[in-house]
Structure 1
Amino acid sequence: MFPRFLLFLTSTGEMERRTTLTPLESFFSLHTGILLLAIAVALVLNVPSSATMPSHTAGQSSVGHPLLGPLATACAFIAIISYNTKSVGSLGLLVSIGAAIVSLWGFWVLVFQGTSRHSKKTGTDKHTSRFCLATRRCFLQKKEWRKQQGSKSR
Protein backbone atom coordinates (compact mmCIF):
# COMPACT_ATOMS: atom_id res chain seq x y z
CA MET A 1 0.00 0.00 0.00
CA PHE A 2 2.87 2.37 0.62
CA PRO A 3 6.02 1.43 -1.32
CA ARG A 4 7.94 4.49 -0.08
CA PHE A 5 7.94 3.00 3.41
CA LEU A 6 9.24 -0.31 2.01
CA LEU A 7 11.96 1.61 0.16
CA PHE A 8 12.87 3.34 3.42
CA LEU A 9 13.12 -0.02 5.20
CA THR A 10 15.27 -1.59 2.48
CA SER A 11 17.75 1.28 2.15
CA THR A 12 21.08 0.58 3.84
CA GLY A 13 22.84 3.93 3.66
CA GLU A 14 22.68 7.56 2.57
CA MET A 15 24.30 6.91 -0.79
CA GLU A 16 21.77 4.32 -1.81
CA ARG A 17 18.46 6.03 -2.60
CA ARG A 18 16.21 3.90 -4.73
CA THR A 19 12.97 5.07 -6.24
CA THR A 20 11.42 1.69 -7.05
CA LEU A 21 11.21 -1.72 -5.48
CA THR A 22 12.93 -4.66 -7.11
CA PRO A 23 10.64 -7.25 -8.72
CA LEU A 24 11.39 -9.69 -5.89
CA GLU A 25 10.51 -7.15 -3.19
CA SER A 26 7.35 -6.21 -5.05
CA PHE A 27 6.41 -9.90 -5.45
CA PHE A 28 6.82 -10.69 -1.76
CA SER A 29 5.12 -7.51 -0.56
CA LEU A 30 2.08 -8.21 -2.76
CA HIS A 31 1.72 -11.76 -1.48
CA THR A 32 2.28 -10.75 2.14
CA GLY A 33 -0.39 -8.06 1.72
CA ILE A 34 -2.87 -10.60 0.34
CA LEU A 35 -2.30 -12.93 3.31
CA LEU A 36 -2.60 -10.07 5.80
CA LEU A 37 -5.84 -8.97 4.14
CA ALA A 38 -7.21 -12.52 4.45
CA ILE A 39 -6.32 -12.63 8.16
CA ALA A 40 -7.96 -9.21 8.68
CA VAL A 41 -11.14 -10.38 6.94
CA ALA A 42 -11.22 -13.53 9.07
CA LEU A 43 -10.78 -11.51 12.26
CA VAL A 44 -13.49 -9.01 11.33
CA LEU A 45 -15.97 -11.74 10.41
CA ASN A 46 -15.32 -13.89 13.48
CA VAL A 47 -15.14 -11.39 16.33
CA PRO A 48 -18.33 -11.75 18.38
CA SER A 49 -20.54 -8.67 18.39
CA SER A 50 -22.17 -9.35 21.75
CA ALA A 51 -20.61 -9.68 25.18
CA THR A 52 -22.04 -13.14 25.80
CA MET A 53 -21.04 -16.06 23.63
CA PRO A 54 -23.84 -18.43 22.61
CA SER A 55 -23.39 -21.92 23.95
CA HIS A 56 -23.12 -24.70 21.39
CA THR A 57 -25.63 -27.47 21.77
CA ALA A 58 -24.78 -31.11 21.18
CA GLY A 59 -26.95 -31.21 18.06
CA GLN A 60 -25.07 -28.41 16.33
CA SER A 61 -22.32 -29.33 13.93
CA SER A 62 -18.89 -28.06 14.80
CA VAL A 63 -17.66 -25.14 12.74
CA GLY A 64 -14.16 -25.36 11.29
CA HIS A 65 -11.32 -23.01 12.04
CA PRO A 66 -12.24 -19.38 11.33
CA LEU A 67 -9.07 -18.75 9.29
CA LEU A 68 -9.58 -21.74 7.01
CA GLY A 69 -11.91 -20.20 4.43
CA PRO A 70 -10.19 -16.82 3.98
CA LEU A 71 -6.69 -18.32 3.90
CA ALA A 72 -7.66 -21.05 1.42
CA THR A 73 -9.20 -18.39 -0.82
CA ALA A 74 -6.15 -16.12 -0.44
CA CYS A 75 -3.82 -19.01 -1.31
CA ALA A 76 -5.87 -19.74 -4.44
CA PHE A 77 -5.60 -16.08 -5.41
CA ILE A 78 -1.84 -16.10 -4.69
CA ALA A 79 -1.40 -19.26 -6.79
CA ILE A 80 -3.05 -17.61 -9.78
CA ILE A 81 -1.13 -14.35 -9.42
CA SER A 82 2.25 -15.98 -8.88
CA TYR A 83 1.74 -18.34 -11.82
CA ASN A 84 1.27 -15.31 -14.07
CA THR A 85 4.28 -13.41 -12.66
CA LYS A 86 7.28 -13.70 -14.98
CA SER A 87 9.53 -11.03 -13.39
CA VAL A 88 10.84 -13.31 -10.62
CA GLY A 89 11.68 -16.30 -12.79
CA SER A 90 10.99 -19.79 -11.51
CA LEU A 91 10.18 -18.52 -8.00
CA GLY A 92 6.73 -17.58 -9.26
CA LEU A 93 6.07 -21.15 -10.35
CA LEU A 94 7.35 -22.59 -7.06
CA VAL A 95 5.20 -20.22 -4.99
CA SER A 96 2.26 -21.01 -7.27
CA ILE A 97 2.62 -24.76 -6.71
CA GLY A 98 2.98 -24.36 -2.94
CA ALA A 99 0.04 -21.98 -2.63
CA ALA A 100 -2.10 -24.23 -4.86
CA ILE A 101 -1.39 -27.24 -2.64
CA VAL A 102 -2.30 -25.28 0.51
CA SER A 103 -5.41 -23.92 -1.19
CA LEU A 104 -6.60 -27.32 -2.41
CA TRP A 105 -6.01 -28.84 1.02
CA GLY A 106 -7.96 -25.99 2.65
CA PHE A 107 -10.87 -26.34 0.24
CA TRP A 108 -10.84 -30.13 0.77
CA VAL A 109 -11.15 -29.63 4.52
CA LEU A 110 -13.91 -27.05 4.05
CA VAL A 111 -15.93 -29.36 1.82
CA PHE A 112 -15.52 -32.56 3.82
CA GLN A 113 -15.40 -31.33 7.42
CA GLY A 114 -17.85 -33.02 9.74
CA THR A 115 -19.25 -35.43 7.15
CA SER A 116 -18.13 -38.66 8.76
CA ARG A 117 -20.74 -40.69 10.58
CA HIS A 118 -19.73 -42.78 13.55
CA SER A 119 -21.53 -45.89 14.65
CA LYS A 120 -23.14 -45.64 18.08
CA LYS A 121 -22.55 -49.34 18.60
CA THR A 122 -18.86 -49.67 17.75
CA GLY A 123 -17.66 -46.07 17.44
CA THR A 124 -16.12 -46.74 14.03
CA ASP A 125 -16.53 -44.52 11.01
CA LYS A 126 -19.32 -45.92 8.83
CA HIS A 127 -17.65 -44.78 5.62
CA THR A 128 -14.63 -47.01 6.26
CA SER A 129 -16.32 -49.92 8.02
CA ARG A 130 -16.34 -52.13 4.92
CA PHE A 131 -12.60 -51.74 4.53
CA CYS A 132 -12.08 -52.45 8.21
CA LEU A 133 -14.08 -55.68 8.03
CA ALA A 134 -12.00 -56.90 5.11
CA THR A 135 -8.87 -57.16 7.21
CA ARG A 136 -8.36 -59.90 9.75
CA ARG A 137 -6.95 -57.58 12.42
CA CYS A 138 -10.00 -55.32 12.43
CA PHE A 139 -12.25 -58.35 12.58
CA LEU A 140 -10.44 -59.62 15.67
CA GLN A 141 -10.56 -56.18 17.30
CA LYS A 142 -14.29 -55.94 16.66
CA LYS A 143 -14.81 -59.45 18.06
CA GLU A 144 -12.84 -58.54 21.19
CA TRP A 145 -14.82 -55.32 21.59
CA ARG A 146 -18.14 -57.21 21.36
CA LYS A 147 -16.90 -59.69 23.95
CA GLN A 148 -16.03 -56.82 26.31
CA GLN A 149 -19.40 -55.15 25.73
CA GLY A 150 -21.19 -58.42 26.46
CA SER A 151 -19.37 -58.88 29.77
CA LYS A 152 -20.11 -55.28 30.81
CA SER A 153 -23.86 -55.56 30.19
CA ARG A 154 -24.23 -58.64 32.38
Structure 2
Amino acid sequence: MLGTLLGAGVTHRFQLRAVERTERFTRDEKLRQERMDAYGSYAGALVNYRRALVHRWFREREGGSPEEVTENRMAGYELRSVAQEALFRVQMLSPDESLVQRAWEVLLEIDQVHKAADREAFDALRDTTRELIKTFVTDAKNTLGLP
Protein backbone atom coordinates (compact mmCIF):
# COMPACT_ATOMS: atom_id res chain seq x y z
CA MET A 1 0.00 0.00 0.00
CA LEU A 2 2.84 2.38 0.81
CA GLY A 3 4.31 1.63 -2.63
CA THR A 4 1.02 2.51 -4.28
CA LEU A 5 0.77 5.82 -2.44
CA LEU A 6 4.40 6.63 -3.19
CA GLY A 7 3.85 5.76 -6.86
CA ALA A 8 0.73 7.92 -7.03
CA GLY A 9 2.60 10.83 -5.42
CA VAL A 10 5.50 10.56 -7.85
CA THR A 11 3.13 10.29 -10.81
CA HIS A 12 1.21 13.34 -9.61
CA ARG A 13 4.46 15.31 -9.28
CA PHE A 14 5.53 14.41 -12.84
CA GLN A 15 2.13 15.35 -14.19
CA LEU A 16 2.30 18.75 -12.48
CA ARG A 17 5.73 19.37 -13.99
CA ALA A 18 4.48 18.39 -17.44
CA VAL A 19 1.51 20.75 -17.11
CA GLU A 20 3.78 23.59 -15.94
CA ARG A 21 6.14 23.01 -18.89
CA THR A 22 3.24 23.01 -21.33
CA GLU A 23 1.80 26.21 -19.85
CA ARG A 24 5.22 27.90 -19.94
CA PHE A 25 5.76 26.82 -23.55
CA THR A 26 2.31 28.10 -24.55
CA ARG A 27 2.87 31.42 -22.79
CA ASP A 28 6.33 31.84 -24.35
CA GLU A 29 5.06 30.98 -27.81
CA LYS A 30 2.19 33.45 -27.50
CA LEU A 31 4.61 36.18 -26.43
CA ARG A 32 6.92 35.30 -29.33
CA GLN A 33 3.99 35.60 -31.75
CA GLU A 34 2.97 38.96 -30.23
CA ARG A 35 6.53 40.20 -30.64
CA MET A 36 6.63 39.02 -34.23
CA ASP A 37 3.37 40.87 -34.93
CA ALA A 38 4.64 44.02 -33.19
CA TYR A 39 7.96 44.02 -35.05
CA GLY A 40 6.27 43.39 -38.39
CA SER A 41 3.65 46.07 -37.79
CA TYR A 42 6.33 48.57 -36.84
CA ALA A 43 8.41 47.82 -39.93
CA GLY A 44 5.32 48.19 -42.12
CA ALA A 45 4.42 51.48 -40.45
CA LEU A 46 7.96 52.75 -41.04
CA VAL A 47 7.79 51.86 -44.73
CA ASN A 48 4.47 53.68 -45.11
CA TYR A 49 5.68 56.73 -43.20
CA ARG A 50 8.89 56.85 -45.24
CA ARG A 51 6.92 56.56 -48.49
CA ALA A 52 4.70 59.49 -47.44
CA LEU A 53 7.72 61.66 -46.68
CA VAL A 54 9.36 60.77 -49.99
CA HIS A 55 6.15 61.76 -51.76
CA ARG A 56 5.98 64.95 -49.70
CA TRP A 57 9.56 65.88 -50.63
CA PHE A 58 8.76 65.56 -54.33
CA ARG A 59 5.52 67.56 -54.03
CA GLU A 60 7.26 70.36 -52.13
CA ARG A 61 10.28 70.52 -54.48
CA GLU A 62 8.65 69.85 -57.82
CA GLY A 63 5.70 72.18 -57.75
CA GLY A 64 2.81 70.44 -56.14
CA SER A 65 -0.22 72.61 -55.55
CA PRO A 66 -0.58 74.10 -52.05
CA GLU A 67 -3.49 71.72 -51.45
CA GLU A 68 -1.38 68.71 -52.44
CA VAL A 69 1.48 69.84 -50.24
CA THR A 70 -0.87 70.30 -47.28
CA GLU A 71 -2.54 66.95 -47.95
CA ASN A 72 0.85 65.23 -48.09
CA ARG A 73 1.98 66.90 -44.89
CA MET A 74 -1.18 65.78 -43.08
CA ALA A 75 -0.77 62.23 -44.39
CA GLY A 76 2.80 62.24 -43.07
CA TYR A 77 1.64 63.34 -39.62
CA GLU A 78 -0.98 60.62 -39.55
CA LEU A 79 1.46 57.92 -40.63
CA ARG A 80 4.03 59.10 -38.09
CA SER A 81 1.40 58.62 -35.38
CA VAL A 82 0.75 55.10 -36.65
CA ALA A 83 4.49 54.39 -36.55
CA GLN A 84 4.78 55.77 -33.02
CA GLU A 85 1.90 53.60 -31.83
CA ALA A 86 3.58 50.55 -33.36
CA LEU A 87 6.86 51.59 -31.72
CA PHE A 88 5.21 51.81 -28.31
CA ARG A 89 4.02 48.23 -28.78
CA VAL A 90 7.58 47.19 -29.65
CA GLN A 91 8.76 48.95 -26.48
CA MET A 92 6.25 47.11 -24.33
CA LEU A 93 6.96 43.67 -25.77
CA SER A 94 10.67 43.63 -26.53
CA PRO A 95 13.07 42.43 -23.85
CA ASP A 96 15.96 43.81 -25.92
CA GLU A 97 16.58 47.46 -25.02
CA SER A 98 19.12 47.87 -27.81
CA LEU A 99 16.48 46.78 -30.36
CA VAL A 100 14.07 49.37 -28.95
CA GLN A 101 16.78 52.03 -29.15
CA ARG A 102 17.49 51.15 -32.78
CA ALA A 103 13.75 51.25 -33.50
CA TRP A 104 13.62 54.83 -32.18
CA GLU A 105 16.69 55.76 -34.23
CA VAL A 106 15.07 54.50 -37.44
CA LEU A 107 11.98 56.63 -36.80
CA LEU A 108 14.07 59.71 -36.06
CA GLU A 109 16.11 59.22 -39.22
CA ILE A 110 12.98 58.80 -41.34
CA ASP A 111 11.71 62.08 -39.84
CA GLN A 112 14.52 63.81 -41.73
CA VAL A 113 13.64 62.57 -45.24
CA HIS A 114 11.36 65.44 -46.22
CA LYS A 115 13.83 67.99 -44.83
CA ALA A 116 16.63 67.15 -47.27
CA ALA A 117 17.93 70.35 -48.86
CA ASP A 118 18.70 68.91 -52.29
CA ARG A 119 18.37 65.78 -54.40
CA GLU A 120 21.74 64.39 -53.34
CA ALA A 121 20.92 64.66 -49.63
CA PHE A 122 17.43 63.28 -50.30
CA ASP A 123 18.78 60.24 -52.17
CA ALA A 124 21.26 59.58 -49.37
CA LEU A 125 18.54 59.76 -46.72
CA ARG A 126 16.22 57.59 -48.77
CA ASP A 127 18.93 54.92 -49.13
CA THR A 128 19.96 55.16 -45.47
CA THR A 129 16.42 54.83 -44.17
CA ARG A 130 15.72 51.86 -46.46
CA GLU A 131 18.78 50.10 -45.03
CA LEU A 132 17.86 51.01 -41.45
CA ILE A 133 14.44 49.43 -41.87
CA LYS A 134 16.02 46.27 -43.31
CA THR A 135 18.48 46.17 -40.42
CA PHE A 136 15.68 46.58 -37.88
CA VAL A 137 13.79 43.66 -39.43
CA THR A 138 16.91 41.48 -39.40
CA ASP A 139 17.71 42.39 -35.79
CA ALA A 140 14.10 41.75 -34.73
CA LYS A 141 14.13 38.41 -36.51
CA ASN A 142 17.31 37.46 -34.68
CA THR A 143 15.78 38.26 -31.27
CA LEU A 144 12.92 35.90 -32.12
CA GLY A 145 15.29 33.06 -32.96
CA LEU A 146 13.99 32.77 -36.51
CA PRO A 147 16.17 31.30 -39.28
Task: Please give the TM-score of this superposition, normalised by the length of structure 1.
Answer: 0.33
- Determine which structure has the larger helix proportion and give its number: 2
Q: Which has the larger radius of gyration?
A: 1
